[in-house]
């Protein structure tokens, strides 16, 4: 077995304090020190440091660049615990705002992805800019990892792992309980159809849009739940096995029968 055939994932269902970056960074600082030794990756929820903000003046005050305080803290935590940290934060580029996913490695290497599918039933599509790049493929400790954000999950072509391009899909989310059945089953579907493990890293607590507790999941490439919950810390953990993943793909190579969709949006 290769060194990184076993990949250890943790997910933190943070109860986000709305628009209070200091409180949320302090909460994650405490969580990072509680992550079990040997973990490779910690996945935080969507917009973990602020929650969903749509007020233009407040956005101007608290949105950050990739060189801001939030990313600095992420790099500090990743280095301190020798783990990668993923999630999304409220980002600013020039005068536009983005729901920006991040993957920060212990070395300080950083990868970003701006949420492509903005939730048009809310103001998100009015105040945030749409991402214009495809989801990334990150090579980390021998695993190919991709990430999307919340509502992106509903669009299977966008999530497609073309010819097994990724082994693990991360989905930081603020998905309310009222649509919890859909969230769980969409995560399962994305795992099965892509033969890849999936982490649905939902937030906890509640806000004006709903309640969120109990909707964080980790599924293996067969769509089976593999997470265990630490009752003391609330963190979810799973050990993913790349050897089993390779065997599954070799014995049932559906990838060779899959349609190779091409995205035609002009920005892509």
What is the tens place of the pLDDT at every residue in 174-212? Answer: 999 999 999 999 999 999 999 999 999 999 999 999 999
Work out the end-to-end distance of the chain between its first and last CA atoms, rounded to an integer number of angstroms: 38
- The H-or-E segment that residue 248 falls in is helix 242-251
Look up 159 and say whether it is catalytic.
no
Out of 46, 64, 105, 124, the active site residue is 46
Out of 75, 115, 135, 159, the active site residue is 115
How many Cα atoms sit within 13 Å of 154 on the Cβ side? 15
The candidate with the shortest Cα–Cα distance to 124, out of 116, 132, 136, is 116
Answer whether 199's CB lies under 8 Å from 43's CB: yes
Out of 105, 124, 135, 150, the active site residue is 150
The candidate with the shortest Cα–Cα distance to 34, out of 234, 179, 244, 254, is 234
**Adjacent-strand bridge partners of 98:** 91
Please, which residues have CB within 8 angstroms of residue 38's CB and are 6 or more apart in sequence?
8
pTM > 0.85: yes
Look up 267 and say whether it is catalytic.
no
User: What token pair was written down for 198?
Assistant: 């999936």
Q: pLDDT tens for residues 206-215?
A: 999 999 999 9
Segments of the chain scoring below 50 in pLDDT: 1
Look up 36 and say whether it is catalytic.
no
Answer whether 158's CB lies under 8 Å from 152's CB: yes
pLDDT of residue 121: 85
Q: Show the beta-strand stretches assigned E in 180-262.
A: 197-202, 206-207, 210-211, 217-219, 228-229, 236-241
pLDDT of residue 4: 74
Spatial separation of the C-alpha atoms in residues 216 and 172, rounded to whole Å: 9
User: What token pair was written down for 169?
Assistant: 């899909």
Spatial separation of the C-alpha atoms in residues 190 and 182, rounded to whole Å: 12
């Amino acid at each position: 077995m290769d060194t990184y055939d076993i990949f250890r994932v943790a997910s933190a269902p943070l109860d986000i304090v709305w628009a209070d970056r200091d409180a949320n960074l302090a909460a994650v600082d405490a969580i990072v020190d509680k992550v079990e030794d040997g973990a490779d990756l910690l996945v935080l929820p969507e917009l973990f440091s602020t929650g969903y903000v749509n007020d233009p003046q407040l956005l101007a005050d608290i949105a950050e660049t990739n060189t801001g305080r939030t990313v600095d803290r992420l790099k500090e935590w990743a280095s301190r615990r020798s783990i990668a940290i993923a999630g999304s934060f409220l980002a600013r580029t020039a005068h536009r705002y983005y729901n920006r996913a991040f993957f920060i490695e212990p070395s300080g290497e950083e990868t970003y992805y701006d949420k492509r599918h903005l939730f048009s039933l809310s103001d998100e599509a009015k105040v945030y800019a749409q991402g214009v790049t495809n989801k990334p493929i990150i090579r980390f400790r021998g695993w190919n990892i991709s990430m999307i954000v919340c509502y992106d999950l509903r669009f299977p072509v966008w999530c497609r792992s073309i010819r097994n391009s990724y082994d693990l899909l991360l989905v930081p989310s603020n998905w309310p309980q009222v649509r919890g059945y859909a969230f769980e089953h969409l995560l399962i579907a994305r795992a099965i159809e892509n033969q890849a493990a999936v982490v649905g890293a939902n937030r906890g607590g509640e806000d004006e849009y709903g309640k969120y507790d109990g909707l964080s999941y980790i599924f293996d490439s067969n769509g089976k739940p593999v997470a265990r919950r630490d009752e003391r810390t609330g963190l979810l953990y799973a050990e993913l096995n790349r050897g089993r993943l390779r065997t599954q793909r070799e014995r049932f190579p559906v990838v060779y029968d899959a349609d190779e969709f091409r995205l035609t949006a002009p920005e892509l």
